[in-house]
């Protein structure tokens, strides 16, 4: 049956699946499972405490935390009160937190730990500065998740909620019953690759439309284990959260991005949603292992990949795989690929990719080794999906077919436009930005350039605002070049510059693990990135990889010069968004003198 709001969906599924595990997480060396009934009890207790604390329908409650089970429970509890969840990335700087709390008019905040609490304390004591103007932040209450039994802890909140629940439960049920699909569920602030973040107003109906359409694609089914590490402040992760609830999955929470490999192997997931940077790193590690292997093992690996590619081509073209290829593929899996599968848990049916483009070579490589990555596309404004490749209908190099809850079209200038039940209606308190992004016919202008092929698959060619126009009048798509550079063994990140310039140049960061291995092979112990960046041999190594990329580019888009930066980009340094997309404007400003030197 179609649900009318998100908490109704959760409580209905909890009643259906009460004794089954809703999620699991690592507690020491073991996994601990929490049932649907236990999760429901915790959500109700948090909701009761919030309601008893005076949270009204329509109030804004901020969550400043990394992804963890409590994030999901707090989110559902806020929604059950008829309030709005305001997610904030744990990597956000103090001023960014202040802007989101002030702009959303949040009155409460739940924060993860002492580090995040310190940001809020700084804001409430001193405010923050925006455009040279100091602004204040006022919060009625702050709760710290990791605060033991203290009065401001989540544990204390749960205790108060359990005591209050018999008294306030009828009011919780009344508020859930009153929520409709058009009611606002959350305001999600964009990562802000350009300028201050905009708050996207997402309704219960926006989320439900995407969830219902995603269920119909056959991506996930009841009883599956989905693997969770993406930041829940990002709409892609929220979709996975709600999709898992609707489907009836068990969510396995990773401890951190640093423990992904260990946690994935132990969780045995069926579905892994990730962003391209994760696949790029796994791809690089596999190829590095191949290169370090003895000649016989390298030859066996190359043979197996060749067999896998032959099988993959048949499946991509939707034609039968010849018996001989099937037999060889089974041998290749047993001798070579089975170990890779085991390192990823051994049960993976699909992996999904979103938030940024993934190179076709990586998609085809993973499919050759027996892992299908289904790439999709969407934005925070589309809650957050528009298209996705299906398990039974996929095409590498595209982001799939439109979900059946929305429609897309290509404008005359190539921009992708979208309209549908999953598309939000605008930005909170930003009427000018709303009018710029949504036209009078309710078409949302994505800012991405793309094309639809004869079968209806969407292909993204670049960001409208990211297209480079050289001083010679040639248009260059930087993401294509950057993806080629990032596929080189020793390159971690790359940013291509060239707008209104005579030629294109690149800023490059090094893959520290691969670089350390390369240096160790030459007896060099100093592997510090700032030292390696100026080393003549490292410069020559990267030059060969840039030359390899240039072989596949037209002369006007080839990289004439590059500079190696003294460290990698990160969300903490402000050069990456929390979903690991490069903030081009920040990088260009920060390394302006380095860029100018290449044009001197």
CA distances from 57 to 85, 170, 172, 183, 467 (A): 12, 15, 10, 10, 44
Q: 173 and 279 in one domain?
A: no
The answer as to whether 333 is a domain residue is yes
- 281 within a domain of the structure (yes/no): yes
3-state helix, strand, coil in the chain (%, to 5): 45, 20, 35
- Compute the CA torsion angle 205, 211, 213, 215 (nearest 10 deg): -150
User: What's the number of domains the chain is made of?
Assistant: 3
- Residue 535 lies in domain: 468-599
Residues 398 and 525 in one domain: no
* Pair (326, 436) in one structural domain: yes
Q: Is residue 307 part of a domain?
A: yes
Domain identity same for 441 and 384 = yes
Q: Are residues 420 and 312 in the same domain?
A: yes
Q: Tell me, what CATH number does 556's domain have?
A: 3.30.300.30
The answer to whether residues 473 and 457 belong to one domain is no
Are 408 and 448 within 8 A, CB to CB? no
Q: Is residue 301 domain-shared with residue 434, that is, in the same domain?
A: yes
Cα(286)–Cα(374) distance, integer angstroms = 20
Could you tell me if 242 and 134 lie in one domain? yes
Alpha-carbon span 384 to 326, nearest angstrom:
38
Residue 278 lies in a domain: yes
The one-digit pLDDT tens for each residue of the chain (600 residues) are: 689 999 999 999 999 999 999 999 998 888 999 999 999 999 999 999 999 999 999 999 999 999 999 999 999 999 999 999 999 999 888 988 999 999 999 999 999 999 999 999 999 999 998 777 888 899 999 999 998 888 899 999 999 999 999 999 999 999 999 999 999 999 999 865 456 789 999 999 999 999 999 999 988 999 999 999 999 998 999 999 999 999 999 999 999 888 888 999 999 999 999 988 889 888 988 998 998 899 999 999 999 999 999 999 999 999 999 999 999 999 999 999 999 999 999 999 999 998 777 889 999 999 999 999 999 999 999 999 999 999 999 999 999 999 999 999 999 989 999 999 999 999 999 999 999 999 999 999 998 989 999 999 999 887 766 667 676 666 677 887 888 888 888 898 999 988 878 889 999 998 888 888 888 888 887 778 788 788 888 889 899 999 989 888 878 888 999 999 988 888 888 888 776 778 888 888 898 888 988 988
Chain centroid, CA 75 distance in Å: 18
Residues 399 and 493 in one domain: no
In a domain, 209, yes or no: no
Q: Do residues 480 and 587 both lie within one domain?
A: yes
What lies within 8 Å, CB to CB, of 148 at 6+ separation is 155
Angle between helices 295-316 and 323-332 (to 10 degrees): 140
User: For the stretch 510-525, what's the b/e string if a residue is b when 16 or more beta carbons lie within 10 angstroms of its beta carbon?
Assistant: bbbebbbbbbeeeebe
Give the three-class secondary structure for 449: strand
Q: Measuring CA to CA, which residue among 493, 458, 477 is closest to residue 577?
A: 493
pTM over 0.75: yes
Residues 6+ apart with CB under 8 A from 339: none
Mapping DSSP onto H, E and C, the string for 72-111 reads HHHHHHHHHCCCEEEEECCCCCHHHHHHHHHHHCCCEEEE
Residue 15 counted as domain residue = yes
CATH of the domain at 236: 3.40.50.12780
- The answer as to whether 217 is a domain residue is no
As a whole number of angstroms, the distance between CA 107 and CA 594 comes to 44
Domain match, 514 and 401 both: no
Sign of the CA dihedral with 275 first, then 278, 284, and 287 last: negative
Domain match, 443 and 525 both:
no
Structural domain includes residue 191: no
């Amino acid at each position: 049956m179609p649900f009318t709001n998100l908490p109704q969906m959760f409580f209905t599924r909890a009643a259906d699946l009460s004794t089954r595990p809703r999620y699991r997480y690592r507690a020491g060396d073991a996994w601990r499972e929490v049932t649907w009934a236990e999760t429901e009890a915790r959500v109700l207790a948090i909701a009761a405490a919030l309601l008893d604390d005076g949270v009204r329908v329509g109030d804004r409650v901020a969550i400043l935390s990394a992804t963890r089970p409590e994030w999901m429970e707090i989110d559902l509890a806020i929604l059950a009160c008829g309030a709005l969840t305001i997610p904030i990335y744990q990597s956000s700087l103090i001023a960014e937190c202040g802007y989101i709390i002030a702009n959303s008019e949040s009155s409460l905040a739940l924060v993860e730990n002492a580090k995040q609490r310190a940001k809020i304390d700084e804001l409430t004591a001193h405010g923050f500065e925006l455009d040279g103007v100091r602004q204040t932040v006022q919060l009625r209450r702050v709760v710290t998740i990791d605060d033991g039994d203290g009065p401001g802890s989540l544990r204390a909140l749960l205790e108060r909620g359990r005591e209050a629940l018999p008294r306030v439960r009828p009011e919780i049920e009344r508020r859930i019953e009153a929520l409709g699909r058009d009611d606002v569920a959350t305001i999600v602030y964009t990562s802000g690759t350009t300028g201050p973040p905009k708050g996207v107003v997402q309704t219960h109906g926006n989320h439900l439309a995407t969830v219902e359409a995603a269920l119909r694609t056959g991506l996930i089914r009841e009883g599956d284990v989905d693997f969770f590490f993406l930041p829940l402040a990002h709409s892609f992760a929220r979709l996975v959260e709600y999709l898992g609830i609707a489907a009836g999955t068990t969510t396995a929470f990773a401890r951190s991005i640093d423990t992904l490999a260990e946690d994935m192997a132990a969780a045995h997931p069926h579905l892994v949603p990730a962003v391209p940077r994760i696949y790029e790193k796994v791809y690089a590690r596999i190829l590095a292992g191949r290169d370090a292997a003895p000649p016989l093992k390298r030859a066996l690996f190359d043979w197996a990949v060749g067999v896998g590619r032959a099988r993959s081509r048949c499946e991509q073209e939707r034609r039968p795989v010849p018996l001989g290829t099937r037999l060889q593929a089974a041998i290749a899996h047993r001798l070579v690929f089975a170990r890779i599968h085991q390192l990823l848990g051994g049960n993976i049916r699909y992996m999904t990719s979103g938030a940024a483009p993934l190179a076709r070579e990586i998609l085809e490589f993973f499919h050759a080794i027996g892992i299908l990555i289904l790439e999709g596309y969407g934005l925070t404004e589309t809650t957050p999906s528009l298209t996705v490749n299906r398990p039974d209908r996929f095409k590498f190099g595209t982001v799939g077919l439109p979900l059946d809850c929305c429609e897309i079209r290509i404008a005359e200038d190539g921009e992708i436009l979208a309209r549908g039940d999953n598309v939000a209606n605008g930005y909170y308190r930003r009427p000018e930005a709303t009018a710029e992004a949504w036209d009078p016919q309710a078409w949302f202008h994505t800012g991405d350039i793309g094309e639809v092929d004869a079968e209806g698959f969407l292909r993204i060619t670049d960001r409208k605002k990211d297209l480079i126009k050289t001083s010679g009048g040639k248009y260059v798509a930087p993401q294509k070049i950057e993806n080629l550079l990032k596929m080189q063994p020793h390159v971690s990140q790359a940013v291509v510059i060239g707008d209104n310039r005579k030629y294109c140049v690149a800023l490059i960061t090094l893959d520290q693990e691969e670089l350390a291995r390369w240096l160790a092979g030459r007896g060099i112990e100093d592997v510090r990135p700032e030292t390696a960046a100026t080393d003549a041999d490292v410069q020559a190594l990267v030059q060969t990889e840039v030359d390899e990329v240039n072989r596949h580019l037209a002369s006007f888009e080839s990289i004439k010069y590059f500079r190696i930066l003294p460290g990698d980009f990160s969300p903490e340094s402000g050069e990456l968004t929390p979903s690991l997309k490069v903030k081009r404007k920040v990088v260009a400003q920060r390394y302006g003198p380095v860029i100018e030197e290449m044009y001197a």
